[in-house]
Each structure stands twice: as structure tokens, then as C-alpha cells.
Chains A and B, each alone.
Chain A
Amino acid sequence: MTSLTTLEPLVLDGFREAVGREHVIESPLEVFGYSYDASFLALDRSTVPQAVVRPRTTQEISRVMAFAHQQRIPVTPRGAASGRTGGSVPLEGGIVLALDRMTSILELDTANMMVSAEPGVRTADLHDHCARQGLFFPPDPGSWKFSTLGGNVAENAGGMRAVKYGVTRDYVMGLEVVLADGSILETGGKAVKNVTGYDLTSLFVGSEGTLGIVSKALFRLRPLPKARGVIRVIFRTMDEACSAVQEMLLDGVTPSAAEIMDATCLEAVARARNTRVEPGAGACLILEIDGDGASSLEAQSLRIDTITRQAGCITFRSAASKEETEAIWAERRGLSSAVAAMAPNRLGEDISVPRSAFPEVVRRINAIASTTKLRIPVFGHAGDGNLHPSVLCDLGNPDEAARAHQAVDGIFKAALDLGGTLSGEHGIGISKRPYFADAVGPVSLATHRAIKGALDPLGLLNPGKIW
């Protein structure tokens, strides 16, 4: 494997030939910008790539991969670097393969309700493009305004609408993937039913760039809901809020988003927005409902009102105007930074448990907070059991840093104990790698390795990730 020095001029020439001279970045200052993503990892000299290569077409990716394979150079694919677990951080030098120039939406097939696009297209742009034709691309990771589709597929991104509409995986019908040696694989297609061979499409979704480079993706779409509404409900406890969500789903009222936040989150938001928390408030649910029109929304809203009342809500507010809708969503969107503002550092985690275990995992996280003497506000997607505990700490204080890492360990353990998993939507990347083997067990780990060995025998694709 290439050491962390400058690439040989001849090697650089090979990449320049593949994508054009101006699309290879090699200045040390410029490549520094490709050494991080949106994870909580510190900036580090060892993660600076030797060059950044920016292809425009599948053929160019193929040429880059064939050349990298021949030269034994590690390749770390990258979109907008908005991932939260270090998935696009180059751990072993080599090149960063930046796919941000591949920004074409290739075909919107309204008859089949499908769309195909290149990996560098921003999620929101695809959504808007489809919406103009009355079609709906539901996956909506929090970063949807700037995250790109290749990354969404590679990390199997989730989002707030997962409770009703599922995650990225549920929409991928087929992929074009450039393999480690430069060969081009096509999986899936427009046929809705397809049992021809292994489900290779699913294999690549969530593979975090370790098995191949997604150069094109085909997604299925839904009809765009005609109306949307937002409801904000305050409860005394997280238990009450969670049970309200359970009851809704059992009753057949499926909100398109069911976001939950605990008392500390409410306090953080109130502080950031200079408002006050309702007395006795211990949890808040922000629900989005959608349907065919006003009457459908009203019917759902009435059902939710009844159910939340029975669960013991303190206040119930259904947004009556666009402004009110915006105000309620702004509370949720500003949450992450409001929470971050409460301490010098924040280790924002992403675990997922069976929906029924949501209250219990919150109780265990509270216990961890009290043992480690740290504040750990919790928010997340109550509808699908995916939650984001934020360990607030000062990493500059060694004792506190140790307790923070202890808290993170405890949180992952609690999730696994309750039948949950290490990640709901952010992937494993670098930051959760130490927990992976325990989470999946030895047979699964060996299977993962066997697949990796078959597709990338030299271990050049996104090395150092997942395990």
C-alpha cells in the first residue's frame, strides 16, 4: 500500500489522463479540504489524501479505478462529505474520488414512476425535480439540501419520513457500480418483481463505499402527497409520548414524521429561541401528516388528538398556517445546534432499537447520564425507533473526555441489549468500527469479509471502514 507521501508524478499523470488535468487536485492546501466529513473526528494530518480525482462520467470512474487497482492505490469515494461517521475520510492516503461533478438527473420515467440520476445530484434537487411532475422521492436525511445521492445510497440514509415511507434502500431499484478493478456492474432495473440471482442492489446499498463506486442509481417514486399538516404535542414524560406514537400506528394513523425530543432538548430549543418551556413538559412530539386533501388531514388530526389526549398530553397544537408550520419545523431543525450550544463538545450518536424498546433505551441512557455525570439529551424519530443521544462534554478536560467515551460505550451496549443496532441512518464508518464485531457476531463478520475479499481482493476501496 502506498505510504503517506506525495504520489509519484507518473501516477498523477495516470489520473490526469483518466479525468483531465484540471480535475486532479494535488496542492497540499487543497487536498486538506478532503480530509474530513461531518463526523466528530478531529482534523488530522494522517487523513489528508495524496490527491483528489474528480471524474465526470462512469467511463472516467472506470479508468480511474482500473489505474488505481493496477498501481495499488487506495480510493476513498466522496460526495458532499456530509456523513456523520467518517465514511468519506481517507484513512490510508491514496486518492479521494470526488463524485461531485456528476450532477445529472438522467431520466424521469413518469410512466414507471422511476428516476435515474448520477451520484453527485443533491437529494433536495432530485426531490424538487420529481415534485415538479407530481412525483415524490421520500428519503429526506437531515442534510438533504446538500447531501448527495451516491452517499445516500452508500450509507443507506434515513430521515424523518422513514416511519411512513422507509429509507433510501426502499427506493433503490437498480445501480450502476464501478468495481475495484474498474469493471462496470449493473444491478436491478425497472421491473418491479425481480428474482434473477442474488439481490446485488441491496448488497451495495449501505456498503459505505467499500465494495464499489455507485456511478448511477435508479429510484422508484411515489405520487406526491397533495396536502401536508404539522402537529406539535407536549407530554409530561417520554413514555407517554412513545406510547402515543405506538397507539397511532396501531390505529392505522401513520404520520409521515414523528419526531420526539426530551426535556433537555426542549430546554435547549427554548434557550436558543428565547422562549419558555411549558410547565411540566417532559417530552415533545412533532408530527407531520400528509394525505389527499384538507379533509384527510382533518380526519387524521382528530384521531391523533384523541389518541394523544388518552396518552396524557399537556398541549396539542395543529399548525393553522404556513407560518405556524414553519415555526414548528424550525424548532426541530434548530434542535441539533441548540443542543450543541449547551457544551463545548457534543458526541452525537445514532442508534436504532425496535420501536417498543424506545422508552426503555431512553431510561437506560438517562441512567448512563447520571452514572457518568454528563448531560445526554435525546431526540430522534419515535416512529421508527431511531434515536440520537448527544453526549455533552468538554473534550479538553481529560477526565470528562474519558467519561464521555464511557457514556458512548454504554449507549451502544444498551442499544444492542435491547435488540437494536449501532446505526439507524449514519452508518458505521470509522467512529463505530470498534463496536461492529460485537454487534454482528463472528459469522456475520466473516461473511462481510468474504464478500469484501471477493469484490475488492486488494482492499483498496475505502480502507479502514466498518470493521
Chain B
Amino acid sequence: MRYYARKLGFYLVALWAALTLNFFIPRLMPGNPVDTLLAKLAQRGGTVDPSARRSYELLLGTDTGEPLWRQYAAYLGNVLRGDLGVSVSAFPAQVTEVIGQSLPWTIVLVGIATLISFALGVTLGTLAGWRRGSWLDSLVPATTVLAAVPYFWLALILVLIFSSSLQWFPLFGGYDTYLPTGWNADFIGSAIYHGTLPALTIVISSVGGWLLGMRNMMVATGSEDYILTAHAKGLRDRRIMTRYAARNAVLPSFAGFAISLGFVVSGSIITEQVFSYPGIGSKLLQAVENSDYALMQGIFLVITVAVLAANLVVDLLYGFIDPRTRVTT
């Protein structure tokens, strides 16, 4: 029990540290929301009367003149109450509303892509590691090359081939905007159709890592005594591969997977840029470009909590699976 209490305590401290950083880091950035907004308005539509500055300062409430420590205290209090404030770039929408609108898209897209990538990488890695020296080994350099290619370039090339030239996939967007939004077959179908190519790019660029890790673990596990014993018992090769070797080899990959699930929330900013996908990554970019502190803090908070939660789950599961980690020395 003490083990779990200690873990939870540690995560609470980590959460507080992350919240504090979330508060201060955006404020260290140069610029302020009003000047950014004015510069933007001046570019788009030309006329910005000098009176506009005062007016927007008052509207956005950026000119409070409150000392930083008081803002910090108010911020911590608001976070505890689930009030993340008002977004400046989407004024007067609540940050929670902005995040709520975009988060599901990212979770589904990047989540499914990560899942597919992991499953595919581990399966292929198992086979490649088990039959090392066979043609499957050539997958390792092939996929790592794809992982090494700059992601935005790969994505742009795929857009060029499959969307612009062949027109198999839509060029942009997360769904067909002509369809009524909701849980109906047409809309979900269009969402899947729109998400396929972005998901494909993520899978292609990340499958290499899982494959390589799994293959190397399989090679190491393959030389263990219990594998030799299993062979000596006359078990079927297939059974040894899946039940004896892969099960042990997958453990480190699985820990990595749990952590990468936490990062799903932070989305894939470039994916969302290239495909004009309506996810959290594009919101984060919008927040940074507009000095929208509240939205930045909100998104960082969601990301932090997701990563910490994933880590916590892994930690707790490890304590359960491997009792040695619970022993205090």
C-alpha cells in the first residue's frame, strides 16, 4: 500500500511542477496578445485605428496590471475548479470549449494510428527476429529509412501522389463538411475516409521504431535457456515464438507503447498542418502564434495530465506484474 501512496504522491508533485511551468513558460515568450492581434488585423483588412489598441486591451482583459504571483495563485485555483479561462485567439470562447472541440479528432486519429503502428511493428518485429537472416530482415532498413525521412516531406509527397494526382483521398479536412455532423453512417464514413491518409503517414513514419525494438528483443530472447528447453520439449515452433519468446520480448515495447499513448494527446502538429486536420495540434499552433496564454496553458495541461496518467498506469502495472519493483531496499 505504501508503494502506491508513494507513487501517487510523486505524481502529485510532478503535476504541480508541470502546472507551474505551464504558467510561467508562456509568459517568458516575447509578445503580447493585443499587439499580435493588431498586427494581424492590420494585415487582413488594412485599417486599424490607433483607438483599437485600447479597446482590445480592455476587451481581452490583458491589461489587468495584477502582480504575477497573484495571477499564479488565481490560475492554480481556477485549474482545480476546472476553469481554464477564456481563449484570446477564439475570444470569447472558453478554453475548455476550444479544447473539447478539437481533442476527440486528435485522440481518434493519432490514437488509432499509434495502435496500428504498434501492432504492425510488433508483429513484423516478432517474425523478423524469429527468422533472422530471412527476407523479413530487409524490413528493418526499409522502415527505418521511412522513419528517418523528414515527416513533413513524406506527408507532402503522399498528399501529392494520393490526393492531388490520383485523387484517391481528400486533400484536406477531417470530414465532409456537406454532411450533417453526428453519429450517422455517412458522417463517420467520411471521417474515416478523411483520416486514412493522415493515419497512414503516421504509421509509415513510426512503424520502423517498433519493428526494430521488437526484432532486437526477439533476437535476445531467442538465445535464452527457456527457449532451448521449449525446443527440447518438442513444442511447435509457432507456439514457442508467440507464447515463449514474443511474450517476454514485448515487455519493453509495451512500456514504450503506454508512454506513447500519453503523447497521443499532444497530437501531431505537422500532420494536422499538412492535412488541415481539426485537431489539438493546430490549436496549439494557433495559441502560440497569437500569444494566447490561456489556451496554451490549457493544452499543455491536457498533455501533461495525459502523459503523467500514462506513466502512472505503467508504473502501477509494473508494480503488479513484477513484484520486485515494489520492494523497498
A binds B: no
